[in-house]
Amino acid sequence: MTFKLLLQYVLPHRALSRVVYWATRWTFAPWKNWLIDSIVRNYDVNMAEAAQPDALAYQHFNAFFTRKLRADARHADADPAALLSPADGRISQAGAIVDGRIFQAKGQYYSAVELLGDETAAAPYRDGSFVTVYLSPRDYHRVHMPLKGTLKETVHVPGRIFSVAPFAVAAIPRLFARNERLVCHFEGEHGPFVVVMVGAILVSSVATVWDGLVIPPYAPAIRRKSFTGQQITLERFAEMARFNMGSTVVVLLPGGTSTLEALQPQQAVKVGQRIGSAG
Residues catalogued as catalytic = 88, 144, 247
- Torsion sign over Cα 160, 164, 165, 167: positive
Q: Report residue 170 CA to chain centroid gap.
A: 18
Contact present, 254 and 124 (Cβ < 8 Å):
yes
What does the alpha-carbon distance between residue 189 and residue 175 come to, in Å, rounded to a whole number? Answer: 31
As a whole number of angstroms, the distance between CA 214 and CA 205 comes to 7
Determine whether 23 is exposed, middle or buried from the number of CB atoms within 10 Å of its CB (0-12, 13-18, 19+): middle
What b/e readout covers 73-92, taking b as 16+ CB neighbours within 10 angstroms? bbebbeeebbbbbbbbbbbb
187 CB neighbour count, 10 Å cutoff: 15
Please answer whether residues 117 and 155 qualify as being in contact, where contact means their C-beta atoms are separated by less than 8 angstroms. Answer: yes
